[in-house]
A and B are shown apart, each in its own frame.
Chain A
Amino acid sequence: MSNPENLKYTSSHEWVKTEADGTISIGITQHAQELLGDMVFVEAPKLGRKLGAGEECTVVESVKAASDVYAPVSGVVTAVNSDLEHTPEAINSDPYGAWIFRMKPDNAADITALLDAKAYQAVVDSGAH
């Protein structure tokens, strides 16, 4: 599966999608889910929590390991995907559909500074996990 062109990415393997209302949805990439394997638990970040760019904000756990998820930009948590509480495996089957939480970014311009699909692929190819 290639990384969708319409998304932005972080070097810590989150994807970022800008929604119509200006909020952003955040999930983990195909590469990240493949490394982690079968997901069994997704912790929901707290609604209304203020996050700094790169701040640890939640955890996803596979059978194998726990992995932190980081805020791609600074902002406030506005929604969590409660479906993942019962179907964490959606992250494996549909990584770019299974958003984990949404944020209202402090500064929309921060999004454009994130990696595009090609630049993210270069991160993956360089072998940095």
Chain B
Amino acid sequence: MTALKQTPLNAAHRAMGARMVDFGGWEMPVNYGSQIDEHHQVRNDCGMFDVSHMRVVDIKGAGARGFLRYLLANNVDKLTQPGKALYSCMLLDNGGVIDDLIVYFMSETWFRIVVNAGTADKDIAWMKQQAGEFNGHVPTAVAAAPLASSTAGKQSQEVLDKAVPDLAIADHPELAMIAVQGPHAREKVWAALPGSQGLTEGLIPFSAVEMGTMFIARTGYTGEDGFEIMIPARAAPYLWASLAEKGVKPIGLGARDTLRLEAGMNLYGKDMDESINPLEAGLAWTVDLKSERDFIGKAALLANPPTRKLVGLVLEDRGVLRGHQQVHTALGAGEITSGSFSPTLGKSIALARVPDAVKIGDNVQIEIRDKLLNAKTVKYPFARNGKAVCNL
């Protein structure tokens, strides 16, 4: 067995009484006591998460936007204000999801991407492979330029030389990341990090700003307000300690999972992977099929209309929904992709992939061990901003 990777906060977690587990090759805190208490702590006040295992990848150069326009299923042309972020899937040619990610537009020569830990190396290899092919292509705009005069050939060659994308892809495993989430998260960060309030008070949701060597984004994975702060590894323990001093409680990956599930946010590897396209994973809203733009996977998505969809489930009988349980509907079989107990609702909830014709409000049955239990399909999210939001 290879040694587990550790984040710069490993010692801090142990000092705070964390139960550490193997999380995709990383030694991470699953909880520091009660996972349910940690869940409520974030919904009702605020808490902090070590998400240093996630990877930052910077795409730099004049060709960055053109490259990402082709690489990602969502359209980076939606990003016009520096600092603004976009959630997107990165697809294979067959439409399967390589990873889901957030891309921040910092300038026309710098886009920052944050990818999942377990997929980071695969993602970067894919990006570099695509960049190599992309660099060899004639950019669409240049190729489409009409040849207007006898010297056009020479001129377009000059334009082409200038327009050859200038791309640099570099990942930053030396950056740690701390997420502070909850209704009081922002004010706690301001208290713990002198100088941050002025810079980040006006930050609109889903955008980011640099502060020295730090990068502060108003993003998260809980359905609550807050920040995700990227910070050099050596400085991370100081920020963590400073937040703790202001009363911010540490939250493990256990509660992170129930928070994101209640918030109706997909988890890569559970709700979608390379065998699932985003249209069958509840992510059609992140795929831009309307613009003329071509992107990797587009042709496959257009050629294969979805036959399944992702719905929310609330269990009406007693028990707990879990991934891979079979769902029986009047219109055919489905499967739970993520399931757990919802501390906010006090019931078991799940995301499930079911036949496309299943409707919200339908009664379905879930096979749990030797029993069939009753559940109802609901529109998700289940909870956000401290409250239950789905109609039960």
Pairwise interchain contact A41-B319, C-beta atoms closer than 8 A: yes
Q: Which of A38, A59, A66 contacts B35 (CB 8 A)?
A: A38
Interface of B is mostly: mixed
Q: Which residues of A contact B31 (CB under 8 A)?
A: 37
**Is A63 close to B, CB under 8 A?**
yes
How big is the A interface, by class?
10 to 19
**Is A106 close to B, CB under 8 A?**
no
Q: Mark A41-58, 1 if CB is under 8 A from B, else 0.
A: 101000000000000000
Pairwise interchain contact B369-A40, C-beta atoms closer than 8 A: no
Given contacts A38-B34, A41-B341, contact A63 B254 (CB under 8 A): yes
Separation of A7 and B291 alpha carbons in the complex (Å): 70
Q: Which residues of B contact A59 (CB under 8 A)?
A: 369
Task: List CB contacts (< 8 Å) of B19-50 with chain A.
Answer: 19, 30-31, 34-36
Q: Mark A76-101, 1 if CB is under 8 A from B, else 0.
A: 00000000010000001000000000
Pairwise interchain contact B369-A63, C-beta atoms closer than 8 A: no
Q: Which residues of B contact A63 (CB under 8 A)?
A: 35-36, 254, 258, 340-341, 343
Separation of A38 and B258 alpha carbons in the complex (Å): 12
**Is A61 close to B, CB under 8 A?**
yes
Interface of A is mostly: mixed
Separation of A38 and B340 alpha carbons in the complex (Å): 12
Pairwise interchain contact B254-A40, C-beta atoms closer than 8 A: no
Task: List CB contacts (< 8 Å) of B303-325 with chain A.
Answer: 318-320, 322
Separation of A41 and B322 alpha carbons in the complex (Å): 13
Instruction: Kindly provide the distance from the CB of A127 to the nearest chain B CB, expressed in whole angstroms.
Output: 14
Q: Which residues of A contact B343 (CB under 8 A)?
A: 63
- Interface hub of B19, B30, B340, B343 (most chain A Cβ within 10 A): B340
Separation of A64 and B30 alpha carbons in the complex (Å): 10
Q: Which residues of B contact A64 (CB under 8 A)?
A: 30, 35, 254
A-B contacts besides A40-B348, A43-B319, A63-B340, 15 pairs, CB < 8 Å = A34-B19, A37-B30, A37-B34, A37-B35, A38-B35, A40-B36, A41-B318, A41-B319, A41-B320, A63-B35, A63-B258, A64-B30, A64-B254, A85-B318, A92-B34
Of all A-B residue pairs in the complex, the 9 with the closest CB atoms, nearest first, are A40-B341, A61-B320, A38-B36, A63-B341, A41-B320, A38-B35, A63-B35, A37-B35, A38-B34
Residues of chain B at the chain A interface (Cβ within 8 Å): 19, 30-31, 34-36, 254, 258, 318-320, 322, 340-341, 343, 348, 369
Residues of chain A at the chain B interface (Cβ within 8 Å): 34, 37-38, 40-41, 43, 59, 61, 63-64, 66, 85, 92
Q: 29 A-B pairs, CB-CB below 8 angstroms?
A: A34-B19, A37-B19, A37-B31, A37-B34, A37-B254, A38-B36, A40-B320, A40-B341, A40-B348, A41-B318, A41-B319, A41-B320, A41-B341, A43-B319, A59-B369, A61-B319, A61-B320, A63-B254, A63-B258, A63-B340, A63-B341, A63-B343, A64-B30, A64-B35, A64-B254, A66-B320, A66-B322, A85-B318, A92-B34
